[in-house]
């Protein structure tokens, strides 16, 4: 079933049927002022933090899943009929109500047609501002004059701390006040401001107040009391004021508030009129007044919209491609990167699933997020990287989460058993990726403080990351799993050993040796390579199970991921990371990747392990809490799919990499949305596998490491345009029958036009490259040969050039 299509030209996903299988959402705003909005205008808003700055309310996990939101109700004042400008919440029958939603770059546009009235609502937050526009354009497409009344609606939180707001009602329902403060403006405030001063989060230590204003028409009524607007026994579908046809000009005094301004719109046949709501935080008499004075005209609102689009499109234009596969094009040209940028901004803190409780930067996730955004926003990536490096303790381990008020150098050391084993190993992916992208090799020499005390160069931080794991080895000479490795559900006991981290450490040692040589520190390179040799020996001694690598060794000696056990016999991560790290012999690589194909591949992606855990002890494998076939318990964990693609690419199998890529790619499901259910334009953390009763259903949209690895594996490995320290490697690995593809890529401030030709239909292998007509016999183009506007033609073929791959 299909509910919409990709409009790549406009950089929008267009939802043509509003009754999508789940709410399909988008993001507005920035990390200062953010918003989630769905195809039915559901959602919420937050200032700086989804948890601490939640000024607009959404009832999580409710029915429907996305209410309330940012609504316009329209009422025909003659017939008394009414509807909403988005299909929901009124939900008129779909044979009479047509609706289209365009989710774009930090804006959402919803049009509707009902009984001769066309409406268009457009929602966005201007760049750098802490308010939002809701613009409503109404057209009379019929032949008689119409008298309409429009009502806006949203629910302001009583308390910006979302838990206080929704749970501590004995406090939160007694503090809210709403009033009319100017002819077209409503003011909301919290009466008692003492509480907030005792809040721990200084980032949000603001006076909790909001305002809503109407522009383009006089306000003919209003409601600030939710009870007055909705009615004691009313609901969003049938609000009392809309049924009645007028607001009661209520001023909330305790209980709950709402943002309702009322405007009258008379339309001659063919006539269009526009009104707009401006809604923001701050005092109506100060910030509200100032904002409306400056931004309250349609001309200004148009300009702000243009600015917003330009800004986002310029980031997205850092990479675009035309390949024979439309789904890959949609991903690469807009949604893959947009998803990475949103995930980078909000980490795992605010969506229809994340209620803000995971505030701050989860360490390992945030380090990985760098990979997806380095090309588009190198400066922000650098700032984030430095912040993350400063969340590393001087012992080489990391804070689990970097909170908003984190200050480097002042952090108390966490207890030994709280360290995760993988956190800082992700730097060996992220830092080289960033340096190769920007060419800023000096970044390795930049001095960054540690979380607790002292400071070191980035290079020094990397060494500490290695030492952290090398100093915490188990009895078989593999890194201890500590609290957990990448897999939060793995609880091996502090001294249990993680093979996944062993592979990460191997990659780390290789990467460190390479950087050391480049910095002229040959002793350090020798040290890293000798540690790697020892590690390799231990891996080979203990971890090959005949057809695949084991998973882990628990503290009590139990081996996980071996053929002789029934649950979790094979684990995905250790197979693909044996390849990514270079630890697998060529023979092992082939064998274990075949095992992945045989035991873990499904039509919807690659399972994390198989068979699922049912009887295992929860102390060691807490994934047993999940239903079989979901999340870490033999589900398709989308975060890992990119690793499967990269491993097959390293194996030279472009057809299989493509097959894996397509199986888990959201866009693949655009025409069969009933299977995936979630948005076909963004990733989801997890997909139910064939061990479950609902294979293919995907959950936890938007915020996941899947965003980074999906985009990164396609752009840098499948299309193979991978920056190196000194040049640009062109090393695609594609479906063999592709004739080639074209890419426009921004690299080190140069716009490059790249064309890859595949006349002999190979999957991999570049025979020669021409740069502005000049041929070179290397698959890495030296940076000095490139200039802004350069044209690169890379020809694939059987007589492939060797690949000097300098970084992963």
The contact mask relative to ligand GLC for 717-756 (x = CB under 6 A, - = no) is ----------------------------------------
Interacting span for ligand GLC (CB under 6 A) from 256-264, 322-330, 359-367, 439-447:
359-367
Name which of 82 and 427 has its Cβ closer to ligand GLC: 427
CA distances from 801 to 360, 654, 738, 742 (A): 45, 17, 20, 20
Rounded least distance, CB 685 to ligand GLC, Å: 6
Rounded least distance, CB 363 to ligand GLC, Å: 8
Single residue of 456, 531, 632, 679 touching ligand GLC by CB under 6 A: 632
CA distances from 753 to 227, 630, 786 (A): 59, 42, 11
Q: Interface residues for ligand GLC in 213-252 (CB under 6 A)?
A: none
CA distances from 264 to 30, 44, 245, 318, 336 (A): 33, 26, 11, 45, 42
Please, which residues have CB within 8 angstroms of residue 433's CB and are 6 or more apart in sequence?
370, 371, 374, 712, 723, 807
Rounded least distance, CB 683 to ligand GLC, Å: 11
With H, G, I as helix, E, B as strand and everything else as coil, classify residue 458: helix
Q: How many residues interact with ligand GLC (rule CB under 6 A)?
A: 13
User: Applying CB under 6 A, does 103 fall inside the site for ligand GLC?
Assistant: no
Please, which residues have CB within 8 angstroms of residue 695's CB and are 6 or more apart in sequence?
602, 603, 604, 629, 688, 689
Q: Are 691 and 611 in contact (CB under 8 A)?
A: yes
Q: How far apart are CA 105 and CA 92, in angstroms?
A: 28
Selecting among 452, 488, 514, 536, the annotated active-site residue is 488
Name which of 54 and 639 has its Cβ closer to ligand GLC: 639
* DSSP letter (8 states) at residue 332: I
Query: Comparing C-alpha atoms, which of 123, 149, 181, 151 is closest to residue 301?
Result: 123
Q: How far apart are CA 641 and CA 441, in angstroms?
A: 30
Name which of 206 and 488 has its Cβ closer to ligand GLC: 488
Q: How far apart are CA 233 and CA 650, in angstroms?
A: 62
* DSSP letter (8 states) at residue 716: I
Question: Can you point out the beta strands (E) in 183-234?
Answer: 185-190, 209-215, 221-225
Q: Interface residues for ligand GLC in 25-54 (CB under 6 A)?
A: none
Q: Looking at beta carbons, which pairs linking 234-243 to residues 24 or more positions away fall under 8 Å?
A: 235/89, 236/67, 236/68, 236/71, 236/88, 236/89, 236/153, 237/89, 237/90, 237/91, 238/90, 239/73, 239/151, 239/153, 241/151, 242/73, 242/75, 242/82, 242/151, 243/82
Name which of 369 and 531 has its Cβ closer to ligand GLC: 369
Q: How far apart are CA 102 and CA 109, in angstroms?
A: 5
Interacting span for ligand GLC (CB under 6 A) from 362-370, 503-511, 735-743, 769-777:
362-370
Residue that the structure tokens 């309702």 belong to: 260
User: Applying CB under 6 A, does 271 fall inside the site for ligand GLC?
Assistant: no
Single residue of 364, 506, 722, 764 touching ligand GLC by CB under 6 A: 364
Question: Can you point out the beta strands (E) in 603-666?
Answer: 605-606, 609-610, 636-637
Sheet with 33-38, side-by-side order of all strands: 25-29, 33-38, 43-47
* DSSP letter (8 states) at residue 702: S
Q: How far apart are CA 54 and CA 47, in angstroms?
A: 6
Interacting span for ligand GLC (CB under 6 A) from 121-129, 360-368, 529-537, 596-604:
360-368
The contact mask relative to ligand GLC for 464-503 (x = CB under 6 A, - = no) is ----------------------xxxx--------------
Rounded least distance, CB 485 to ligand GLC, Å: 8
| DSSP letters for 586-621 | HHHHHHHHHHHHHHHEETTEE-SEESPPSSS-TTTB
Name which of 487 and 715 has its Cβ closer to ligand GLC: 487
Name which of 49 and 487 has its Cβ closer to ligand GLC: 487
User: Applying CB under 6 A, does 348 fall inside the site for ligand GLC?
Assistant: yes
Single residue of 506, 639, 676, 746 touching ligand GLC by CB under 6 A: 639
Name which of 132 and 632 has its Cβ closer to ligand GLC: 632
User: Applying CB under 6 A, does 699 fall inside the site for ligand GLC?
Assistant: no
Rounded least distance, CB 737 to ligand GLC, Å: 35
Q: How far apart are CA 633 and CA 621, in angstroms?
A: 9
User: Applying CB under 6 A, does 365 fall inside the site for ligand GLC?
Assistant: yes
Rounded least distance, CB 365 to ligand GLC, Å: 5
For residue 556, with 0-12 CB atoms within 10 Å meaning exposed, 13-18 middle and 19 or more buried, which class applies?
exposed
Rounded least distance, CB 283 to ligand GLC, Å: 38
Rounded least distance, CB 173 to ligand GLC, Å: 34
Q: Give the side-chain half-sphere CA count within 13 A for 311.
A: 15
User: Applying CB under 6 A, does 642 fall inside the site for ligand GLC?
Assistant: no
Six-digit token string for 700 = 């936890």
- C-alpha dihedral sign at 107, 312, 381, 32: negative
The contact mask relative to ligand GLC for 430-469 (x = CB under 6 A, - = no) is ----------------------------------------
Is 423 an annotated catalytic residue?
no
| DSSP letters for 364-428 | HHHHHHHHHHTTT-HHHHHHHHHHHHTTB-TTS-B-SEE-TT--TT-PPPPPGGG-BSSGGGGHH
Name which of 632 and 648 has its Cβ closer to ligand GLC: 632
Pairing of strands 727-730, 780-782: antiparallel
Rounded least distance, CB 567 to ligand GLC, Å: 17
Name which of 469 and 685 has its Cβ closer to ligand GLC: 685
Q: How far apart are CA 808 and CA 803, in angstroms?
A: 12
Name which of 670 and 704 has its Cβ closer to ligand GLC: 704
Rounded least distance, CB 484 to ligand GLC, Å: 7
Element (H, E) at 71: strand 71-76
Rounded least distance, CB 260 to ligand GLC, Å: 38
Name which of 241 and 361 has its Cβ closer to ligand GLC: 361
Q: Are 153 and 221 in contact (CB under 8 A)?
A: no
- Nearest residue to ligand GLC by CB is 488
* DSSP letter (8 states) at residue 189: E
Single residue of 336, 362, 680, 732 touching ligand GLC by CB under 6 A: 362
Phi, psi of 614, deg, nearest 5: -130, -40
Name which of 338 and 363 has its Cβ closer to ligand GLC: 363
The contact mask relative to ligand GLC for 663-692 (x = CB under 6 A, - = no) is ----------------------x-------
Q: Are 26 and 42 in contact (CB under 8 A)?
A: no
Rounded least distance, CB 348 to ligand GLC, Å: 6
User: Applying CB under 6 A, does 548 fall inside the site for ligand GLC?
Assistant: no
Greatest CA separation for the chain: 86
Name which of 140 and 641 has its Cβ closer to ligand GLC: 641
Rounded least distance, CB 704 to ligand GLC, Å: 6
Q: What is the number of residues in the chain?
A: 808
Q: Which residues bind ligand GLC (CB under 6 A)?
A: 348, 362, 364-365, 486-489, 632, 639, 685, 704-705
Instruction: Tell me which residues are annotated as active site.
Output: 488
């Amino acid at each position: 079933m299909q509910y919409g299509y990709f409009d790549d030209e406009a950089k929008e996903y267009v939802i043509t049927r509003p009754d999508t299988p789940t709410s399909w959402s988008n993001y507005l705003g920035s990390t200062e002022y953010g918003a989630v909005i769905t195809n039915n205008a559901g959602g919420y808003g937050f200032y700086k933090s989804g948890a601490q700055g939640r000024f607009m309310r959404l009832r999580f996990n409710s029915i429907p899943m996305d209410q309330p939101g940012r609504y316009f109700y329209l009422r025909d004042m003659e017939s008394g009929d009414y509807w909403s400008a988005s299909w929901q919440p009124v939900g008129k029958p779909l044979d009479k109500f047509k609706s289209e939603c365009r989710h774009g770059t930090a804006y959402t546009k919803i049009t509707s047609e009902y009984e001769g009235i066309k409406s268009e609502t457009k929602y966005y937050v201007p760049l750098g501002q802490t308010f939002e526009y809701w613009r409503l354009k109404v057209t009379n497409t019929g032949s008689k004059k119409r008298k309409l009344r429009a009502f806006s609606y949203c629910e302001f939180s009583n308390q910006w701390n979302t838990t206080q707001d929704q749970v501590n009602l004995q406090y939160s329902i007694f503090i809210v006040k709403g009033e009319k403060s100017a002819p077209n403006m409503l003011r909301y405030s919290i009466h008692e401001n003492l509480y907030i001063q005792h809040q721990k989060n200084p980032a949000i230590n603001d006076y909790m107040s909001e305002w809503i204003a109407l522009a383009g028409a006089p306000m003919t009524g209003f409601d600030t009391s939710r009870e007055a607007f909705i009615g004691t026994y009313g609901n969003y579908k049938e609000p009392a004021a809309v049924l009645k046809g007028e607001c009661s000009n209520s001023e909330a005094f305790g209980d709950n508030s709402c943002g309702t301004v009322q405007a009258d719109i008379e339309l001659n046949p063919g006539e269009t009129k526009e009104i707009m709501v401006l809604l923001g935080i701050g005092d109506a008499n100060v910030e509200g007044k100032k904002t409306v004075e400056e931004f309250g005209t349609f001309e200004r609102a148009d300009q702000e919209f243009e600015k917003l689009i330009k800004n986002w499109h310029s980031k997205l234009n850092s990479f675009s491609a035309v390949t024979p596969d439309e789904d890959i094009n949609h991903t690469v040209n807009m949604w893959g990167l947009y998803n990475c940028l949103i995930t980078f901004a909000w980490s795992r803190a605010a969506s229809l699933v994340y209620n803000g409780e995971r505030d701050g930067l989860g360490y390992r996730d945030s380090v990985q997020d760098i990979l997806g955004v380095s090309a588009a926003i190198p400066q922000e990536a650098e700032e984030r990287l430095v912040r993350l490096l400063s969340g590393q303790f001087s012992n080489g381990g990391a804070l689990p989460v970097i909170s908003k008020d984190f200050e480097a150098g002042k952090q108390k050391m966490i207890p030994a058993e709280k360290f995760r084993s993988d956190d800082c190993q992700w730097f060996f992916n992220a830092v080289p990726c960033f340096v190769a992208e920007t060419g800023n090799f000096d970044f390795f020499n930049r001095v960054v403080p540690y979380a607790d005390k002292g400071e070191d160069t980035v290079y020094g931080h990397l060494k500490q990351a290695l030492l952290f794991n090398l100093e915490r080895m188990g009895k078989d000479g593999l890194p201890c799993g500590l609290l957990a490795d990448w897999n939060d559900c793995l609880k091996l006991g502090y001294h249990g050993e993680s093979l996944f981290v062993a592979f990460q450490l191997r990659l780390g040692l290789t990467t460190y040796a390479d950087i050391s040589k480049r910095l002229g520190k040959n002793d350090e390179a020798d040290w890293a390579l000798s540690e790697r040799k020892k590690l390799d020996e231990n891996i080979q001694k203990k971890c090959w199970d005949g057809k695949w690598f084991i998973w882990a060794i628990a503290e009590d000696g139990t081996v996980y991921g071996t053929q002789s056990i029934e649950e979790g016999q094979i684990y995905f991560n250790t197979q693909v990371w044996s390849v990514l790290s270079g630890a697998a012999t060529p023979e092992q690589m082939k064998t274990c990747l075949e095992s992945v194909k045989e035991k873990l591949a499904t039509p919807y992606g690659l399972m994390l392990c198989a068979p699922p855990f049912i009887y295992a002890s929860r102390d060691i494998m807490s994934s047993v809490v999940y239903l079989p076939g979901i999340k870490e318990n033999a589900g398709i964990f989308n975060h890992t799919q990119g690793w499967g693609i990269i491993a097959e690419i390293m194996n030279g199998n472009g057809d299989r990499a493509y097959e894996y890529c397509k199986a888990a790619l959201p866009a693949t499901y655009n025409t069969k949305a009933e299977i995936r259910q979630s948005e076909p334009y963004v990733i989801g953390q997890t997909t139910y596998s064939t061990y479950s009763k609902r294979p293919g259903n995907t959950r936890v949209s938007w915020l996941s490491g899947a965003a980074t690895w999906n985009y990164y594996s396609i752009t840098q490995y499948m299309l193979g345009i991978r920056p190196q320290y000194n040049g640009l490697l062109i090393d695609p690995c594609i479906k063999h029958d592709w004739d080639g593809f074209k890419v426009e890529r921004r690299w080190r401030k140069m716009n490059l036009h790249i064309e890859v030709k595949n006349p002999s239909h190979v999957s991999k292998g570049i025979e020669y490259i021409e740069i502005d007509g000049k041929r070179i016999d290397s698959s890495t183009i030296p940076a000095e040969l490139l200039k802004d506007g350069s044209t690169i033609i890379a020809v694939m073929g059987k007589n492939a050039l060797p690949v000097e791959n300098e970084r992963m």
